[in-house]
Amino acid sequence: MNETLHRNEAPRVSMFGNLDLCGVMRGRSVPAVRTDEVLAQGLPWVPTNIMLSPFNTIPAGNPFGPMGETRIVGDPATRMTLPPAGERPALDLFLCELKNIDGQPWPLCPRNQLKAAIAKLRDEFGLVIKAGFEQECYIHGVQEVPTPAFSLAGTRAISGLADAVQAVLATAGTRLDQFVAEYGEHQFEIASPAADVLLSADQAVMAREAIRDAARLRGWSATFAPKPDPEQPGSGVHIHLSLWTTDGKPVTAEQDALTETSGAFVAGLLRDLTAVMGFTTPSGNSFDRLLPSSWVGVFNCFGERNREAAIRLCPRPLEPDGVNPAASIEFRVADGGCNPYLALAALIHAGMNGLRDGLPAPESIDRDPATIDKAECEARGIAPIASSLEEVLGVLRDSPFLDSTFGPLFRTAYLAVLENTRADRDVIGDEYATRYSRVI
């Protein structure tokens, strides 16, 4: 490296990263002069790396051990430039897919799994999805004294960091639609723009990494962990979905209600909800957050404007023909421990199961299910969602959901990852939330 370079002309580094099964960005970095070469050829990648826990433990049941090799291959359209700071040069981050040596998609790659689900929805049903992520996080260091939720003071406190994050996201051709103070002390919510479903996952990942990096460069910390502090509100992720025909017709809502198509899709999500939670709430810390009457959606039901339902409809304004083109289906049982690619793939597969079986649209529940007596809940099919990772694992082990949607190799690997996650929680004990929040 040329030591005569001026400090502000420090050479760049490129990192080629893939989000692993636990939602941690991992990859390889190279000098920027190698970027074009690596984009064309990829880099070697150890299969077991996809299964590491946030604490770098390897699942006992992993199917690879020391064997095998894949390639980590960057998508040039996902380049995001992180700024220089002090001794750290600027860095170009490329989101990647994992491929077999012959160049074919590797089935354990989350981005590959989402692309396969997108293709199946289009080919089988003539449908495409647009999605958007609302993600909550805690950022410590922005302010000494917490500000009120949604306040001007909170907006001013975060505005400098928000401006820096927007500048980073602009290098990738994206942005945030919202950056606001939330209910918790030092808690904030960000919203990425609605986009085609693959891009929406990319945007969610880039937003997380841009915020974490901007906080680190200032000596602060940012965490998207679902419940970093038992005395503070939890942080969730709300995933908004809208359904469209391949020729651009919106089919999410009409007259402020689900259509026949979206109704079947939502019914499929509710039927497979516990299996889907293996992808949307995949950590032991996830279930510390899921409490009734907390606006987190802990009942397996649908409500048009009900924030205590697992899924709600956001209708938005009507067009003259009665269609709600800006409507979205909001899936509320997710958090920052999820891998956005896998969460979306699971949602698409569960929705397709509902479409295949022609399930009727679910009843809309118009009040907090926690206030409805048990007999009425049973009569209306309202049940609490799974209350532990062990309960989710029990369903996934016995359900055909993993095999039929993600394939047998993925099933073996993912169950091993979830088992390892549960074991890590048992071993680490009371320090789990604190240590987890340093990574997620």
317 pLDDT band (50/70/90 cuts)? confident
Residue 316 has pLDDT above 90, yes or no: no
Can you say whether the dihedral through the CA atoms of 386, 391, 392, 396 is positive or negative?
A: negative
Q: In the structure, what pLDDT confidence band is assigned to residue 134 with cuts at 50, 70 and 90?
A: very high
Least confident stretch, 178-182, 239-243, 293-297, 414-418:
293-297
Pairing label, strands 221-223, 127-140: antiparallel
Instruction: Show the beta-strand stretches assigned E in 114-200.
Output: 127-140, 178-181, 187-191, 195-196
Distance of CA 410 to the CA centre of its chain: 18
Helices 197-217, 152-170: axis angle to 10 degrees equals 110
Separation of alpha carbons 302 and 363, rounded Å? 7
Q: Tell me: pLDDT of 398 over 50.
A: yes
Q: Which domains does the chain have, with CATH numbers?
A: 7-110 (3.10.20.70), 113-394+425-437 (3.30.590.10)
**Whether residue 3 has pLDDT greater than 70:** no
Q: Tell whether the model's pLDDT for residue 236 goes beyond 60.
A: yes
Residue 1: the pLDDT is: 28
Work out the percent of the chain whose per-residue pLDDT is above 90.
73
Rounded to an integer, what distance in angstroms lies between the CA atom of residue 350 and that of residue 405?
9
On the CB side of 395, CA atoms within 13 Å amount to: 17
**pLDDT tens digits for 179-227?**
988 888 899 999 999 999 999 999 999 999 999 999 999 999 999 999 9
Helix (H, G, I), strand (E, B) or coil at 408: helix
Amino acid at 6: H
Residues 6+ apart with CB under 8 A from 349: 117, 120, 272, 401, 405, 406
DSSP β-ladder status, 70-74 and 25-31: unpaired
Report the range of poorest mean pLDDT among 136-145, 189-198, 256-265: 136-145
When pLDDT is averaged across residues 377-394 and rounded to a whole number, the result is 91
What whole-number distance in Å separates Cα of residue 236 and Cα of residue 335?
4
pTM: 0.94
At 430, is the pLDDT very low, low, confident or very high (cuts 50, 70, 90)?
Answer: confident
CA-CA-CA-CA torsion for 19, 41, 107, 136, nearest 10 degrees? 20
pLDDT (average), residues 247-276: 96
Q: Is the pLDDT of residue 378 over 60?
A: yes
Model pLDDT, residue 291: 84
13 close to 91: Cβ distance less than 8 angstroms = yes
